[in-house]
Amino acid sequence: MKYLATLLIVLSSFVVKAQLNSDKLIGTWELSEFSYNGNNVVPQIHGIKRYKLYTPTHFTVLEINLQTKVITTSFLGTYTLIDSNYAERIIYSSGPQVKAGGNYLAKVSFDNEDTMVMVAKLNGLPMDERWKKAKSDPFDTTSK
């Protein structure tokens, strides 16, 4: 019984720690820039806005074409964040570039409450994403 109580206390501390870190993610984030294999991209210059919306257990990604105001890419899934270790599993994807059933691992850091960095390897190549908390409606494509 003593060991069971100790185990429950230890496990609950991991859940609380994971939840505290996940609280920083909850809300809507806009991708401000990213680098894939050393090639830097600023989404707005390429005519898109990409948003990532987080609940306590799930996320959704929407990519909006700024010219047509149409969602061109969407995918969603579940995630966990423990310390700086981020893992997500894709449940649904609207296109071939992101596959349902895929897993994605990254290191996450927060510069402050409004900026986040995700560093990972995608297809074996380095990727670095810079996100900022969205201040406006994700479907308002007029603000930059």
Q: How confident is the model at residue 15 (pLDDT cuts 50, 70, 90)?
A: very low
Token representation of residue 18 = 């994971």
Token representation of residue 69 = 């105001």
Looking at residue 36, its pLDDT comes to 83
| pLDDT, tens digit (0-9, with 9 covering 90-100), for 56-97 | 999 999 999 999 999 999 999 999 999 899 999 999 999 877
Q: Which residue has the higher pLDDT, 130 or 12?
A: 130
CA distance 66 to 139: 10
Element (H, E) at 5: helix 2-25
The answer to whether 29 touches 116, Cβ cutoff 8 Å, is yes
Looking at residue 47, its pLDDT comes to 80
Q: What's the rounded mean pLDDT across residues 106-131? A: 89
The answer to whether 75 touches 90, Cβ cutoff 8 Å, is yes
This prediction has a pTM of: 0.75
Q: What's the rounded mean pLDDT across residues 119-130? A: 87
Q: How confident is the model at residue 125 (pLDDT cuts 50, 70, 90)?
A: confident
Mean pLDDT of the chain: 80
Looking at residue 1, its pLDDT comes to 52
CA distance 90 to 79: 9
